[in-house]
Structure 1
């Protein structure tokens, strides 16, 4: 069939008009993301600000913690440095005090030793001109003995007091060295107390005691020596040990109660300790040595005995002080 051109044109017009008559609705394509680009940009910017603010807050907190830690460390270091400085300063002052004490003790020992040696060696200084050193050493002991006998005749009590004071000082020094103290680090006050007791009491009391003992037992029989030794080591030892401990306690400014307790604790041990030493020494004291020279011999033995006495007395005192400090 052949379609005419006029009919073809009318058909096209009909189709076109029909198309216009159909309801038209805009086609909205659904986007891939539910948010628009502007909203997405705003949200991302807000989240970026939130993250930035959180980071800044964390930095501020971190800085505060760091600064506080640094301050604490500085304070700790300053405190430790101050403590170290105080410790070093304390050690330095202690070292200075110890050095000064050593120097004073050494000066005392060297001064007294030089004086004693000079006095012993220059006993014949008035007529030793032209003597050799050997002659000085030879005659010095003999002439010193003669001088001691002359002093006993002129003033026996004072001569014996001096001897006992020197012996008791030396005995306390030996006791301190025996206890472990260095040679020039002894306690000066303790040495002075012991020497004072020896000078003021032992020399004078011993002088009158030996005369009393001779008057009490005047016989010359064989049993006299054992009887004197027994009396010496019971009555006189008990009296003198008690005097020594009481006077030392008073010189240390201790209370009567402490002195009484120490005396009770040391009375029997000291008395029995004397029985191990003095009976053998007193065989010579009462059997050989004359009355006037007995104290010199006894003082030579007392270098050992004073060491024991001083050690006992100061050990009890130091133990009591340590107990009080611990309580």
Structure 2
């Protein structure tokens, strides 16, 4: 019995009494008290642990949802970027293929027509004879076309020259060989075909009628007239018509013309006076446009580059003016 009392008091961490006590009442009281305290402590610890697990579970679930949402957003953005990048690559490849087809198609047609001018007489001809007589017979065919319909022949020559000149200008600006802007090339070729060929045909005839003399001063006088009156008229027509084909407003076209009129007029004085020494001094009147168009390959490159640079600069300035108010609005909204 003493061992039992010692066990109970030792478990409850109580000092043993100096005098003996009864067994039943103190034992039952002490054991129930210890068990109650231990049970309450266990319940408290268990509830705290459960609450901690619930809070941890809620936090982990919310974090998981946020990670899933952010992950899905990134994954969707990556997918969108990949799809967009892939579509741009496809569009670029298709545009390049179309441009290459156009260039190769027209190039093959032109070379074939030039080399097969004598195909009806090729029987027994050698390759050397074909290549020898092809340039001469093509020139004869060109002169016959000038006699039959001079305006149409010159319109076709100017249209081809202005298209090739714009292509050269785009390559000079840094675009790859087969990634040129087809719309821009078509606009330039359309201006050359509809206006330059026909107007130049009548201009050279009017110039001969105004200055019909054959003296030594005639050539400088024609060059001066060409580089003042005619150049001013044609440069203005070129810029105005290109602006209309780009669907620009009359105000923008007028501002562009004012900004480019004198710079382009003076830039022409560095090229055309030397070329027109041959135009008005050597070349017959019916062949002048062909010679001028061969020089136009350089001049159209300058014209096209200058016109499109001005247009792109104006468009970028307009977009910058539009973006500036929107950015300031966003800043004010964020400050509020």
Given the two structures, how large is their TM-score scaled by the length of structure 2? 0.86
* 1:139-164: CA deviation from partner (whole Å, max 9, x where unpaired): 10111011111111111111100000
Mapped pair 1:74 → 2:68: yes
How is 1:193-232 mapped onto 2 (pairs within 5 angstroms)? 193-232=187-226
- What's the counterpart of residue 105 of structure 2? 111
Q: What is the deviation of 1:38?
A: 2.5
Distance in 2 of aligned mates of 1:109 and 1:99: 15
* 1:246 corresponds to which of 224, 236, 240: 240
Distance in 1 of aligned mates of 2:290 and 2:61: 80
* 2:77 corresponds to which of 83, 102, 106: 83
* 1:266 corresponds to which of 260, 263, 271: 260
How is 1:135-174 mapped onto 2 (pairs within 5 angstroms)? 135-174=129-168
- What's the counterpart of residue 301 of structure 2? 307
Q: What is the deviation of 1:113?
A: 0.4
- What's the counterpart of residue 40 of structure 1? 34
Does the residue aligned with 2:84 lie in a helix, a strand or coil?
Answer: helix
Q: What is the deviation of 1:36?
A: 3.5
* 1:281-311: CA deviation from partner (whole Å, max 9, x where unpaired): 0011011111110000000000000000000
Distance in 2 of aligned mates of 1:316 and 1:142: 43
Distance in 2 of aligned mates of 1:62 and 1:234: 87
Distance in 1 of aligned mates of 2:181 and 2:275: 30
- What's the counterpart of residue 237 of structure 1? 231
- What's the counterpart of residue 56 of structure 2? 62
Given the two structures, how large is their TM-score scaled by the length of structure 1? 0.88
Structure 1 gaps, min length 5: 1-25, 30-34
- What's the counterpart of residue 289 of structure 2? 295
Mapped pair 1:177 → 2:167: no
Distance in 1 of aligned mates of 2:310 and 2:41: 84
Distance in 1 of aligned mates of 2:272 and 2:44: 101
Distance in 2 of aligned mates of 1:60 and 1:130: 101
Distance in 2 of aligned mates of 1:46 and 1:263: 95
Distance in 2 of aligned mates of 1:43 and 1:268: 104
Distance in 2 of aligned mates of 1:201 and 1:64: 77
Does the residue aligned with 2:283 lie in a helix, a strand or coil?
Answer: coil
Structure 2 gaps, min length 5: 1-17, 22-28, 322-336
Q: Alpha carbon RMSD of aligned pairs, Å?
A: 1.4
- What's the counterpart of residue 6 of structure 1? none
Larger Rg: 1
Does the residue aligned with 1:126 lie in a helix, a strand or coil?
Answer: helix
Q: What is the deviation of 1:37?
A: 3.9
Q: What is the deviation of 1:74?
A: 1.2
